[in-house]
Every structure is written in C-alpha cells, then in structure tokens.
C-alpha cells in the first residue's frame, strides 16, 4: 500500500472514530463550546501564535467552562480564577490526572514524575518533594548553593566591563547549575563545552514545544512521525540529554555511599535498592532517568527566562529599578549576600518580582490535566479521557482580580502602607496537587539572583527604555521573552 492510500485510510478511520466520539459526547452534559469540524476540531479557529487569546474570545460567548476539540481530542478549558481554583484546589482529587501529551510521552517514554498518574505519580511526587526538602529547598543548604552561584554570575558579568552582551545563556548556566547541584551533586564551569551543548538543546526543545509545529505534533503525532521535519531533530536531541543523564547515573552507582547521599540521584538509587524485591515498586531505572530529565528541563528554562524578563522590565522602568536598589541598599547594603530572611524587609522588591511573574505569564495554559474518570463539575459531566486546560493566563490577567491587569504594576502586591500583600489569583506555578514541585526553589532563585544583580549593577541597554519590548517573542505553550543585549554597569 503506498503512502497516499495509507493516509487516506488513516483519515477514514479517524473520521469514523470522530463520529463515534461525538455520538458518545451527546450522552454527557458537556460544557458548551463552538461547533467543531471532523478530525481538525476547532484548530482552524485558533490563533496559532497565541492560542490562549482565542480561548479568551470563546469564553465571552460560552462562559468560564467550555468544550473545544484540538484535533479530535476533546478538551475542556477553564477560564478565570473562580473556575480554575474550584477545579484544581476545591476538587483537587478529581483533577490530579496529567494528560498523555504526545511530545512529553515520547521524550520521557511515559516514565517520570511529569507525565505520570495514579500510584506512580503519588510515589514519585512525594519522594521528589521530600528529597528537595532534605537538600534544603526552603532551608539553608539550597540557599547557600544559590548564593554561591550568584557570586559566579556577578563575577562573570563584571568581565563584560559595561559593554553590551546577551544574558540568555549566562542566566541559563546560572540557573541550571542550581539544578545540577541538586540532581548531580556538582556545578559545571561556565566554559564546560558539554554543559553548554546541553543548555542549547534544552532551549531548542522548549522553542519547539512552543512553536506551531510542536503543537501540531501534540495534536497529530501519528502523522508528524511519518512526515519529515524538525520534530525528528528535536527527539534526537532529547536522546542526547537522556544519554548524559544515564552517564551521570552510572557514575553515581560506581561511587555511591548509602550512608551519605550527595544528591537526588543518590537518594533515588538508595530507594531503588531498598525496594528491589517489591515487584510493584516505582523506584526503578526508567523512572529515575525521566524524573531527572523533568527536573533538569523544567528547572532551567522557566526560571532563567523569568530572570531575563525581569531585566527587560528594569530597563523599561528605570525608576522601578532605582527604587529597588534604594530599598536593597538600605536593608542589605552592597557587600552582603542576600538571603531569604531579607525578603520580609524588602516588600517593594518582592512585589516587583511577583509582578514580573504575573506579567510574563510564562505557561499560559499550565500543563494539561486529564480526567482519569468521569467528573461532575459545575453541573456538567466531563467524560473520562478529556484534556483539561486550566488557563493560567486568564487568572493572572483577570480584570476582577487585578487593578490594571494589562500594565506592569508592582502595586498589585502592596497594601496602602507599602507592605507586601498576597493575592490568591497569583498562580504562575499552577495550584492544587499538581502545582510545580520546584516552586519554593524557583522563588528562592528569583529573589537571590535578582537582588544580587541589583546590588552590583545598574541594568540598561543601548536603545534606552523605549527600545524595550515586553511582548514575548513566542506565545504558545510557553511565553518566551525576547532576547536583548543588555549593559550591566557596576555600581
């Protein structure tokens, strides 16, 4: 059978499945949504460069809980703080499922923390949170690693002697080194060729995941596997990252001392050993490789992109930068390394960092959730095997929750007396039982790195504040900030 006949046959089979699934859908009281075409669903109606904007438009007609079809995948989109909180927090147990996102499924071979469900997810999440905590996430050990790394960062920036440079890869190296300390028990030199190559790959993987082509892979994986294109290069790169991780695990096995674990891999290997006689254990080699990859990928790009975006904001609003520097000088001075204790005494700085995260809105869709059973929600029935998209974008930019959602405004996080105030709609790490496991690590990195940069430098660029564009370069699965040459003038 030639290729054309195969595609036609596949098309007919899918059309048939589509008809069956639509008939099944009528059995349920699904949330409302726009008319969907066979096979391609609502894809033609979405803005491929910023799909979340199309979702917001639909919600004006269909309300905060609506059904769409991405290809032939039934998807329920939750819009606004109330519906997102009600699902992820109030009905947390119903919404803990993670969708089998084809790109992640292939990259992780279905193993690891990020994409798992049920008992595997429960065990790996509990273990990962405990291990991160034991290594001082939110406590001293981790803080010292980040402070140490911030010294390497400022020393490297000083070598540019106030001439323009692109901070993208420098910040990736800095943030990734914190994850490397945690996972591999070592930091890499900023010149390490293999380390730089891996960071380049991570950046390419995220870019692909956020491109229309990456989204197409998630909707039509069977077709994209058969067509030529960048997806094959990206999976070859994913394989390189896996090989690096396997090599590191092998090194750990050879030098393991069960009485004093050095890092995440050691802890996992010890647990593997303890449970090797349990046939149902989730502590096995494939879960280790994929969980380390989850931490490595998730922990590098999101935090470094957020810091890079913060620098763009400080260039665009020099008065905000100056006010932060004054506050930091008064509380910490210029010579002492910032620590998390200082955060309480730096309300304005803390408010700016929160506002950077709100305004960048780095993962507008969150990671897709998935119904593992039929769920009742707000009077609707959401059938098993439905993708759930909690639109974090609609929470971070909701007019009911924020005084000026579309402007950068640190006052969103300050009360009348200038004290820091929380806002429950601040959800950049998502919420509920599948919220980001690295949240407290990311918060610590953002605070210590940004404060220490402002202690040592004033950030600007050759084109001045007006040349700074805060609209992301890519807006799809992730909002990826634009790249700029910046100037860091020593203070």
Task: Give the Cβ contact number of residue 162 at 10 Å.
Answer: 14
Is the CB of residue 39 less than 8 Å from the CB of residue 11?
A: yes
* 188-197, 212-221, 435-444: range with lowest mean pLDDT: 212-221
Judge whether residue 139 has pLDDT over 70: no
DSSP character string of 217-241: HHH-HHHHHHS-SHHHHHHHHHHHH
Q: Calculate mean pLDDT across residues 80-104.
A: 93
Query: What percentage of the chain reaches a pLDDT higher than 90?
Result: 67
Q: Which residues contact 366 (CB under 8 A, 6 or more apart)?
A: 389, 390, 391, 392, 430
Q: What is the pLDDT of residue 65?
A: 97
DSSP character string of 451-463: HHHHHHEEEE-TT
Judge whether residue 58 has pLDDT over 50: yes
Q: What is the pLDDT of residue 1?
A: 55
Q: What is the pTM of this model?
A: 0.89
CA–CA separation, 456 and 449 (whole Å): 11
Structure confidence at residue 137 as a pLDDT band (50, 70, 90): low
CA–CA separation, 277 and 292 (whole Å): 23
| Of residues 415 and 11, more confidently modeled | 415
* 4-8, 325-329, 393-397, 479-483: range with lowest mean pLDDT: 4-8
Rank 8-22, 24-38, 319-333 by mean pLDDT and report only the highest: 319-333
Q: What is the pLDDT of residue 239?
A: 94
Q: Is 195 left (phi over 0), alpha (psi -120 to 50) or beta?
A: alpha
Give pairs for 20-23: CB < 8 Å, separation 24+: 21/72, 21/74
Judge whether residue 167 has pLDDT over 80: yes
For residue 297, the Cα-to-chain-centroid distance in whole angstroms is 9
Judge whether residue 138 has pLDDT over 50: no
Q: Calculate mean pLDDT across residues 51-57.
A: 91
Total of domains in the chain: 1
Q: Calculate mean pLDDT across residues 106-122.
A: 92
Judge whether residue 173 has pLDDT over 90: yes
- CATH number for position 432: 1.10.630.10
Judge whether residue 17 has pLDDT over 70: no
**Nearest in space to 306 (alpha carbons), one of 369, 396, 238:** 396
Judge whether residue 319 has pLDDT over 60: yes
| Of residues 409 and 47, more confidently modeled | 409
Mean pLDDT of the chain: 90
Structure confidence at residue 472 as a pLDDT band (50, 70, 90): confident
Domain that holds residue 470: 3-490
Q: Calculate mean pLDDT across residues 68-85.
A: 94
């Amino acid at each position: 059978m030639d290729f054309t006949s195969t595609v036609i046959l596949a098309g007919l089979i899918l059309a048939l499945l589509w008809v069956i699934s639509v008939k099944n859908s009528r059995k349920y009281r699904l949330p409302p949504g726009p008319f969907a075409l066979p096979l391609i669903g609502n894809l033609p109606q979405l803005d491929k460069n910023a799909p979340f904007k199309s979702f917001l438009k639909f919600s004006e007609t269909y309300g905060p809980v609506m059904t769409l079809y991405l290809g032939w995948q039934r998807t329920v989109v939750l819009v606004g703080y109330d519906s997102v909180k009600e699902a992820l927090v109030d009905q947390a147990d119903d919404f803990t499922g993670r969708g089998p996102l084809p790109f992640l499924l292939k990259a992780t071979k279905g193993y690891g923390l990020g994409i798992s469900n049920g008992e595997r997810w429960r065990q790996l999440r509990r273990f990962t949170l405990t291990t991160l905590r034991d290594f001082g996430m939110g406590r001293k050990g981790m803080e010292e690693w980040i402070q140490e790394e911030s010294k390497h960062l400022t020393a490297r920036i000083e070598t540019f002697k106030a001439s323009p440079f692109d901070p993208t890869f420098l910040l990736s190296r800095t943030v990734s080194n914190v994850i490397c300390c945690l996972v591999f028990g070592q930091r890499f030199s900023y010149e390490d060729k293999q380390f730089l190559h891996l960071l380049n790959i991570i950046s390419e993987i995220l870019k692909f995941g956020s491109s229309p082509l990456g989204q197409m892979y998630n909707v039509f994986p069977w077709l994209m596997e058969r067509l030529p294109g960048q997806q094959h290069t990206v999976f070859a790169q994913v394989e390189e990252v896996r090989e690096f991780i396997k090599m590191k695990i092998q090194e750990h096995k050879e030098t393991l001392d069960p009485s004093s674990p050095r890092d995440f891999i050691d802890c996992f290997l010890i647990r593997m050993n303890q449970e090797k006689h349990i046939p149902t254990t989730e502590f096995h080699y494939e879960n280790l490789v994929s969980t380390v990859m989850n931490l490595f990928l998730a922990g590098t790009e999101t935090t470094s992109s957020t810091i890079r975006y913060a620098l763009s904001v400080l260039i665009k609003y020099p008065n905000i930068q100056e006010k932060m520097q004054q506050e930091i000088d008064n509380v910490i001075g210029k010579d002492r390394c910032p620590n998390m204790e200082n955060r309480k005494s730096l309300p304005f700085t803390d408010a700016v960092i929160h506002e950077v995260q709100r305004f960048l809105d780095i993962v507008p869709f969150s990671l897709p959730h998935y119904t593992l059973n039929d769920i009742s929600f707000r009077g609707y029935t959401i059938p098993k095997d439905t993708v759930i998209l909690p639109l974090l974008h609609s929470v971070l930019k909701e007019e009911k929750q924020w005084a000026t959602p579309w402007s950068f405004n640190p006052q969103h996080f300050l009360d009348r007396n200038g004290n820091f105030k929380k806002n429950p709609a601040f959800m950049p790490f998502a919420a509920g039982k599948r919220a980001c496991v690295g949240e407290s690590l990311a918060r610590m990195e953002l605070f210590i790195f940004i404060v220490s940069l402002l202690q040592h430098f004033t950030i600007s660029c050759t084109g001045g504040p007006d040349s700074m564009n805060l609209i992301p370069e890519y807006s799809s699965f992730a909002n990826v900030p634009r790249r700029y040459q910046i100037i860091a003038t020593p203070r």
